[in-house]
Structure 1
Amino acid sequence: MQSHRAGNALAAFSFVLWGILPLYYQFLPEADINELLAFRIIFSVPVMLITIGLLKRPFPSWQTIWADKHSLIATSIAAAIMCISWYAFTWAITHDQVLAASLGFFINPLFAIALGVIFLKERLSHAQSAAVILAIAGIAYQVWHYGELPWISLIMGSFFALYGLCKKYIRYDALTSVTMEAAILAPLALAFMAVQGISGQSVALSSDLSTLLLYIGSAPVTLAPLIFFALAISRTSLTMVGLMQYIEPTLQFLLAVFLFGEVFDEIKAISFSLIWLGLLLCTLEALQGVYRRKFIHAENTSI
């Protein structure tokens, strides 16, 4: 019970950290997105290795990693997918589109449900079916009025769901997987920064020290919630994680509307409301399942 509570606390804290990430990027309003992504990848490797050392977790040998070709390929695909998702997220929060980022994370569970049906042959419950239909209606309402798809939100939501699907095929532990994702991409990121530096076109390398440190700091501030999440996942249930994941887009939504002053008009209000209604139905269904299992367990214990 104590471990379960600790897991819930760690999971909630990880989603809070993810939710307030836009605050950090307000210090880099004119950041070069390509270089920001490169710095995040490069410095993720030492940050993860230090973290694994501090947590005294065993890191598998390179022979062990190489021997599991299936996981290595899946990790490489996951790394590429995460790059796209993270690029879209970083662009959104550095271009006054935090509301779009929030929408992306709100619709992510619905993309995950759809992928589960397509690839894992999972069956939709009535609440999940309704949620998917309501999400499609919410997006369609925006398209009808604005005349364009919310591309950033759709890219973020779909690619993060694809990332989650890839993780199901990786047999490495969570921390090793994240470290390997960065290590696989690091040579490309280093080559890109070398070209930028030699050509004299690098924004980060030609900036003052405080700005350069903010570029470097993008690695630990984005990895911190991931590390807390990895520590939480073995201590709590996936149901609780699913319920708490809405902390992140909710905080981003509140920051966008009340702190950053982004426009939340009637069209977005109706679109978001349709999506929120679908998520509410899924949440109530999940809570009903939790209480039903607890009731059955209590009955079996008392017999």
Structure 2
Amino acid sequence: MAFSSGPALAIFSFVLWGITPLFYRLLPDASPLELLSQRVLWSIPLLLLVRLCIKQRTSWQKVWQDKRSLLFCLLGTCIMAISWCTFTYAMTHDQVLAASLGYFINPLFSILLGMIFLHERLTLSQKLAVLFAFAGVSYQLWQYGQLPVLALIMGSAFALYGLIRKFIRFDILTALTVETLWLVPLAIGLMFWLPAHGESALTNADLTLRIYYALTAPVTLLPLLFFAAAIKRTTLTVVGLSQYIEPTIQFLLAIFLFNEAFDRVKGVSFTLIWIGLLFCMSGLLRHWWMQRRKTVLMARP
């Protein structure tokens, strides 16, 4: 499988996302708001540079004319900021297992949002997937007396962000650039507000820490660019199945490298969610097989 092929690019992008916690171990107890500010400010020049290298891109004139997509980009920006902050908080505060759970249940949130907002009908496998995921989360609530809030925020925010993207008519890179530009005023405001209130880690930071903060931009954008390239070169089924690579790697890192607590309750909860994902994956594979069979039959003379 060539590296430039769609499946290889999809796998590589999710592997990069999966090992992201290794980078954030260099920033223990970092402020999510300061990370958001630095990520936005360093992302803008990178995005504009990469965008210049892509021929098939939405012109700025069309961007300005499409007010509907601009507004959806603003909405996507708000969701993206929440997703980024909760993710970086989890990465820098020994909550990698929560992030893993969030991304495991993300596809199930996507199924529910599709049903509610896009009026999509759930298949039997999707209904069973949602049922088992609900059982897994409910079990944690019953045993701990509280919901896995971080996981639910990450899973639902990323699913909602995916739903919003369906209504944006810009290409992926232009949309991401516009969304990031919407965040620039907030990023600049945070850059002055945090030091003024004594909550900035960069005020008296050395060069190494400043470099780590700047690197949050490429660490965020690189897997996203590979993912965008993969979407154009492979099927959504392949992408849908590949996305489980990310939370699996994060789960393994949390348990075996970072030594996060994994008790019986979490074991039962994760198992129920994994069973739900198996139903979800079986539905994807069945749909892919039927579509392929239909294509083969239509190609026969």
Name the TM-score, length of structure 2 as normaliser: 0.96
Residue of structure 2 in register with 1:263 after alignment: 261
After TM superposition, list the pairs within 5 Å mapping 1:1-303 onto structure 2.
6-56=5-55, 58=57, 60-61=59-60, 63-197=61-195, 201-303=199-301
Q: Residue type matched to 2:192 in 1?
A: A
- 1:2 Cα deviation from its structure 2 partner: 8.0
Note if contact 1:19-1:250 (Cα within 8 Å) is conserved in structure 2.
yes
SS of match in other structure, 1:234: helix
Q: Residue type matched to 2:48 in 1?
A: L
SS of match in other structure, 2:5: helix
- Residue 122 to residue 43, structure 1, CA distance change in 2 (3 Å): same
Range with greater deviation from structure 2 (45-54 or 206-215): 45-54
SS of match in other structure, 1:262: coil
SS of match in other structure, 1:162: helix
Gaps of 5+ in 2: none
Note if contact 1:52-1:59 (Cα within 8 Å) is conserved in structure 2.
no
How far apart, CA to CA, are the structure 1 residues paired with 2:74 and 2:14?
25
- 1:41 Cα deviation from its structure 2 partner: 1.2
- 1:58 Cα deviation from its structure 2 partner: 4.1
Q: Residue type matched to 1:20 in 2?
A: I
- Residue 49 to residue 57, structure 1, CA distance change in 2 (3 Å): farther
Note if contact 2:57-2:174 (Cα within 8 Å) is conserved in structure 1.
no
Gaps of 5+ in 1: none
Give CA-to-partner distance per residue, 1:57-90, whole Å, 9 cap, x none: 54512x3212100000000000110110111111
Q: Residue type matched to 2:237 in 1?
A: T
- 1:53 Cα deviation from its structure 2 partner: 2.4
How far apart, CA to CA, are the structure 1 residues paired with 2:112 and 2:178?
27
- 1:180 Cα deviation from its structure 2 partner: 0.6
Note if contact 1:205-1:212 (Cα within 8 Å) is conserved in structure 2.
no
Give CA-to-partner distance per residue, 1:259-284, whole Å, 9 cap, x none: 11111111111100111001101111
How far apart, CA to CA, are the structure 1 residues paired with 2:191 and 2:243?
34
How far apart, CA to CA, are the structure 2 residues paired with 1:274 and 1:109?
15
How far apart, CA to CA, are the structure 2 residues paired with 1:293 and 1:196?
53
How far apart, CA to CA, are the structure 2 residues paired with 1:59 and 1:129?
38
Give percent identity, aligned residues only. 52
Note if contact 1:12-1:244 (Cα within 8 Å) is conserved in structure 2.
yes
SS of match in other structure, 2:183: helix
Note if contact 2:18-2:249 (Cα within 8 Å) is conserved in structure 1.
yes
Note if contact 1:74-1:170 (Cα within 8 Å) is conserved in structure 2.
yes
User: Cα RMSD (Å) of the superposition?
Assistant: 1.7
Range with greater deviation from structure 2 (188-197 or 175-184): 188-197
Alignment coverage as a number of residue pairs: 301
- Residue 58 to residue 144, structure 1, CA distance change in 2 (3 Å): closer
How far apart, CA to CA, are the structure 2 residues paired with 1:250 and 1:280?
14
